[in-house]
Amino acid sequence: MGDATRIYLGTTFSCVIGGDAWYLVERAPGDLVLEGRFEDDRGALGQPPWINTSFCTERSEWGSSCVLPLTQPLAATPSEEYRFVPESVWAAARTEAEKLAGKREDA
């Protein structure tokens, strides 16, 4: 992704054994996406809830990922389309998106 800014938002346990890691990615100023990555290197039981959505960008035996385009400012809660995003991840994404927007305004 070149000079993209990647901010780790946390990990959730979306399966019995295993979980997904979430990142806020700014590909260009103001161009934000929420990225989820799930790696099945521990024999997870189940799959993340976003695996069968149009946002799943990679799906293999060992892992998968999703990319969700974001608009700013982020709403207080995810839209119906993004309902599978954990509340804690969405809240962290909102906080970090606000920080990024503030840095652009200060520049």
Angle (CA) 32 22 27, round 5°: 25
Assign 2 a pLDDT band (cuts: 50, 70, 90).
Answer: low
Instruction: Look up tokens 């990922």; give the residue.
Output: 65
Q: What is the domain range of residue 49?
A: 5-106
pTM, rounded to two decimals: 0.82
| Cβ–Cβ under 8 Å, residues 71 and 97 | no
Q: Which of 103, 101, 80, 83 is nearest to 30 (CA)?
A: 101
Is pLDDT above 50 for 100? yes
What is the tally of structural domains in the chain? 1
The predicted-structure confidence for 19-78, as pLDDT tens digits, reads as follows 788 999 998 888 999 999 887 655 556 777 888 889 988 776 667 889 999 998 899 999
